[in-house]
Amino acid sequence: MIEVNDIAKAFNGKDVLKGITAEFQKGETNLIIGGSGTGKSVLLKCMIGLVKPDKGNVLYNGRDFYNCDKETRQSIRREMGVLFQGGALFDSKTVEENVRFPLDMLTDQSIQEKQGRVAFCLQRVGLEAASKRMPSEISGGMKKRVGIARAIVMNPKYLFCDEPNSGLDPLTSVKIDELIKEITEEYEITTIIITHDMNSVMEIGQNIMFMYEGAKLWEGISADIIKTDVPELKEFLFSNKLLREMQP
Ligand SMILES: Nc1ncnc2c1ncn2[C@@H]1O[C@H](COP(=O)(O)OP(=O)(O)OP(=O)(O)O)[C@@H](O)[C@H]1O
């Protein structure tokens, strides 16, 4: 479980996060939704240590990420997997080398152990046949799969995905969502996904948090979201024509 307590952050005097408190459960796909510029990415960066919050704390299974010793912080970091927007693959490395990269950087495993783990992860995302290809030779959906394989190669307890569906067609998006949800449940990972994709909200929104101007305005499950009374959330949701037609 990840607990975020009263996280605040300002840039150049502008409050970007205004005291966010939330819990994200193990084995669930936790979604963070909201319009552009509402602070979703900054919150995620505060959680993974890329941006230091001005106030508040983040607890990883009770361990306070910003108020712990160096060794504890290092071990929490090793328990995190991140799927970056756009995949962030190294163009000059093969699929297999991209997935192996965290193992090369962070472990002293033998080459056989690393190859075994990489083969397992590539097989898990259905890409074993593409291991020797270069990123330029594979599709956008396959690149996301490589990103997922790399994000899970260290066997993470926590998985962070920044807009995993961006740039994908609807069918491929659904497949990526399903893969992330399956992996989350199978390995009991606490997964946090930033998304704009309303299909993801409805299909894999086991816990959804809606942000507006740096604050949390709503949280709940997908079955309840379209019954919301929060005007800002209604406006966000029902800008989507399909959902407008489903509006109760
Ligand atoms: N390093 C930074 N320095 C200054 N301002 C920043 C920095 N990072 C983010 N911001 C500002 O913080 C606000 C929130 O940005 P953030 O990227 O979290 O939005 P978002 O909700 O993820 O939006 P989107 O959905 O468009 O990605 C924006 O106004 C952005 O310009």
| pLDDT tens by residue, 5-23 | 999 999 999 999 999 999 9
Q: Report the SS3 class of residue 80.
A: strand
* Residue 155 domain-assigned (yes or no): no
- Per-residue confidence (pLDDT) for residue 237, from 0 to 100: 85
Between CA 87 and CA 75 the distance in angstroms is: 24
* Residue 165 domain-assigned (yes or no): no
Between CA 167 and CA 83 the distance in angstroms is: 14
8 Å CB contact between 57 and 117: no
Instruction: Give how many domains the chain has, as a whole number.
Output: 1
* Host domain of residue 200: 1-79+191-248
**24 CA to centre of ligand 1 in angstroms:** 22
ipTM of the modeled complex:
0.96
| pLDDT tens by residue, 167-219 | 888 888 888 899 899 999 999 999 999 998 888 888 888 899 999 999 999 99
Ligand 1 pocket test target in 7, 9, 11 with most atoms within 8 Å of CB:
11
Indicate whether residue 16 lines ligand 1 (CB < 6 A): yes
The pTM of this model reads: 0.91
CATH of the domain at 54: 3.40.50.300
* Residue 150 domain-assigned (yes or no): no
Question: Which residues in the chain show pLDDT less than 70?
Answer: 86-87, 240-244, 246-248
- Per-residue confidence (pLDDT) for residue 247, from 0 to 100: 65
8 Å CB contact between 52 and 35: no
Which residue's CA is minimally distant from atom 28 of ligand 1?
Answer: 37
* Residue 14 domain-assigned (yes or no): yes
- Per-residue confidence (pLDDT) for residue 86, from 0 to 100: 67
**Residue 197 CA, distance from chain mean position:** 13
Between CA 192 and CA 44 the distance in angstroms is: 8
Indicate whether residue 52 lines ligand 1 (CB < 6 A): no
Strands (E), the chain: 2-11, 14-24, 29-34, 55-60, 63-64, 80-83, 158-162, 190-194, 207-212, 215-220
Indicate whether residue 40 lines ligand 1 (CB < 6 A): yes
* Residue 145 domain-assigned (yes or no): no
Which residue's CA is minimally distant from atom 1 of ligand 1?
Answer: 11
- Per-residue confidence (pLDDT) for residue 169, from 0 to 100: 84
Between CA 245 and CA 236 the distance in angstroms is: 14
* Residue 215 domain-assigned (yes or no): yes
* Residue 93 domain-assigned (yes or no): no
* Residue 164 domain-assigned (yes or no): no
